[in-house]
Amino acid sequence: MAAALQRFGLARDSLRAALASSGGISPADLDALEHLEADGPLTQRQLGERLFLTSGAVTMLVDRLERAGWVRRRPHPTDRRYVLVELSAAAEARTPPALAEYHRRVRAIARAVPAAERAAIHAFLAAAAEAAATAASEMRVRLRAQRDARLEGCARAGRVRDGELAAEGLDAVSQADQAGAAGEAGTAAAVITDADPQ
């Protein structure tokens, strides 16, 4: 089962790469759109936590998606310190036909699973998603430690001045976080989403 799950993850990664390319966006942009689709409106901080991006990096990502018409910002309803990021109406209407067909096929496959077996399959997928989330969290802790060590080295070398951080080090860690951690968690979580017959 683990091998089958890995093959599904690889196939879905290929689908996501094709989807990002067809939409003219990066894999990171697509990750953000998928989180907004799954979770609804999020603050930039919440989105950054899901993508393992720094505040500066997630601001640039949201700016890029907003300019392209994929997302919009709106005031937070209860806390004026924050704004919410949500999918735009145009984004929701821009689902490629191939993706809609993929979702239709997966829903049909899920409906064909005997009812008596669904609980066991769901439990397996939920456990796999939890394992991926745990691995992602552990990667994030390790990468933060590497980032802190790098910044400390930069400070000793005189590359951090007037309280400014070495932004290039933060960006490199954010990219590594995103590629290594968010992708793993997203693959297993997407299995549950795609296979849910409801």
Q: What is the pLDDT of residues 120-167, one digit of tens each?
A: 999 999 999 999 889 988 988 888 888 888 888 887 777 655 444 444
Domains of the chain: 2-195 (1.10.10.10)
Taking a C-beta distance cutoff of 8 angstroms, is the pair 57, 49 a contact?
A: no
Are 58 and 51 in contact by the 8 Å Cβ rule? The answer is: yes
Is the backbone of residue 165 left (phi > 0), alpha (psi -120 to 50) or beta? beta
pLDDT at res. 96: 84
Residue 66 — very low, low, confident or very high, per pLDDT cuts 50/70/90?
A: very high
Please give the Cα distance from 5 to 3 (Å, whole number). Answer: 5
How is residue 179 written in tokens? Answer: 């590629």
CA angle 170, 176, 180 (to 5 degrees): 150
Return the amino acid letter for 13: D
pTM over 0.75: no
Element (H, E) at 49: helix 44-51
Q: For the segment 103-123, what is each residue's pLDDT rounded down to a tens digit?
A: 999 999 999 999 999 999 999
pLDDT of residue 30: 92
Tell me the sheet residues that pair with 43: 84
